[in-house]
Structure 1
Amino acid sequence: MAGKFEIVNPTALTDYLDRLETVSSEEVLRQAAVAGARVIHEEVKLRAPVGNAYERNGATHVPGTLKRSILIAYDDEESVKGHLAIYLVTWSKDAFYGRFVEFGTSHAPAAPFLRPGYEAKKRQAAAAVIEVIQKKAEEAARG
């Protein structure tokens, strides 16, 4: 059996509910997703292999291009505005060969760093996402 209740200050209740709505906004969704992606990004950068310097066609190639090319990219095609923000930890076009390192070739064995980095930090990344959402909810509740 339901009891009766009275709303003493309907304006305050409406204001509170409006503030809580901001927690599910596109901006907060993206901030949370990026927070998780940053955790993975840092781990992948740590694990990315660094080769040796070499010369080709008169140009010296310095080691570390792959490591420096690891980035976070928003996936516009897979994201759903207001509902799902997908960020990828990947490498730039300068390090196109990252896929050969990660998966190997017929001439070189795989030296995975992307998947192991993700596996090592996926729980921490999820915690970072939750932390951002909780912080925004607390801020909204306080006004």
Structure 2
Amino acid sequence: MLSIDCDLSAAFAQLNTLQDKVSEALRPAVYRAARMVYLETQNRAPMSEQGHWFYSRRKRDGTVGRKYYFVSGSLRQSIYIKHADDVSQDGEREEYVISWRKRSSQIGYVPYVHMVEYGTVHIPPAPFIRPAFDAKKAQAEQMIIDTIRKAVAQSD
């Protein structure tokens, strides 16, 4: 019988170091990729030349809905990027949400973005969110991979 004794503790220590480097690099890498998609979303968001009025629906009791004025660029300004703390796991899974403000805030909001993106029975859809994601997805994924590879390479 042949027996080989080998100490792998150094290899395991090196693997732990790599795991730490990947964990440290993950959140900033995912943020940069999400920001790329966010900027593309803002760039693709339609913008009217002038401000416009939006009328909310009548209420069930028959009272007239509210009337809102939106300046040109309100839709672009309502788009935001946010770290999804509830689904992210520090260093293992990082997720960012790109969406639009649906409620009134000082930063800006537009309650009808879903009507622009998906259309209504009266107006056809003018999607800009999904096309922005589709346009930047491969580049964003590559950015994450490159950032993590660079972090791992620096640990050598």
TM range (shorter): 0.7 to 0.9
Structure with the greater alpha carbon radius of gyration: 2
* Counterpart in the other structure of 1:133: 148
Per the TM alignment, residue 115 of structure 1 is displaced from its structure 2 partner at its CA by 0.5
From 61, 64, 75, give the equivalent of 1:66.
Answer: 75
The answer to whether the 8 Å contact 2:117/2:125 transfers is yes
* Counterpart in the other structure of 2:99: 90
Per the TM alignment, residue 35 of structure 1 is displaced from its structure 2 partner at its CA by 1.6
| Secondary structure of residue in 1 paired with 2:97 | strand
The answer to whether the 8 Å contact 1:29/1:82 transfers is yes
* Counterpart in the other structure of 2:30: 33
TM (norm. structure 1) is 0.76
Greater helix content: 1
Whole-angstrom CA distance in 1 between matches of 2:67 and 2:113: 23
2:13 is aligned with 1:21: no
Whole-angstrom CA distance in 2 between matches of 1:83 and 1:14: 19
CA 1:35–1:22: 2 relative to 1, 3 Å: same
CA 1:61–1:78: 2 relative to 1, 3 Å: same
Whole-angstrom CA distance in 1 between matches of 2:140 and 2:117: 21
2:130 is aligned with 1:121: no
Residues 3-48 of structure 1, C-alpha deviation per residue, up to 9 Å, x if partnerless?
88788xx5xx6764453232232x4221121121112111111100
Whole-angstrom CA distance in 2 between matches of 1:70 and 1:55: 19
Q: Tell which has more relative contact order, 1 or 2 (C-alpha 8 A, sep 6+).
A: 1
Per the TM alignment, residue 109 of structure 1 is displaced from its structure 2 partner at its CA by 1.6
Per the TM alignment, residue 50 of structure 1 is displaced from its structure 2 partner at its CA by 0.5
Q: What stretches of structure 1 of length at least 5 have no aligned partner?
A: none
| Secondary structure of residue in 1 paired with 2:134 | helix
TM (norm. structure 2) is 0.71
Per the TM alignment, residue 103 of structure 1 is displaced from its structure 2 partner at its CA by 0.7
Q: What stretches of structure 2 of length at least 5 have no aligned partner?
A: 55-65, 103-108
* Counterpart in the other structure of 2:124: 109
Q: Which residue identity is paired with 1:114?
A: I
* Counterpart in the other structure of 1:77: 86
